[in-house]
Amino acid sequence: MSYETSFTKIENELTPNFRDRMKGAEGVADVQQIYAEFVKDMLSGITGAEVVLDEGDVRVDPEVEGGVTFGPGIAANPEFDNFLERSDLLDILRRQGQHAANKITHLAGHSERDEAKLFPRKNRRG
Phi and psi torsions of 123, nearest 5°: -65, 120
Q: What global pTM score does this model have?
A: 0.82
Residue 58: exposure state from Cβ atoms within 10 A (0-12, 13-18, ≥19): buried
54: Cβ contacts below 8 Å, ≥ 6 apart: 71, 73
Q: Which domain holds residue 83?
A: 8-118
- For residue 74, pLDDT beyond 60: yes
Q: What is the mean pLDDT of residues 71-77?
A: 84
Count of domains observed in the chain: 1
- The model's pLDDT over 26-65, given as tens digits with 9 standing for 90+, comes to 899 999 999 999 999 999 999 888 888 888 899 999 999 8
Residue 76 belongs to a domain: yes
With respect to residue 66, please indicate whether it lies within any of the assigned structural domains: yes
Band of the pLDDT at 82, cuts 50, 70, 90? confident
Would residue 3 count as lying in a domain? no
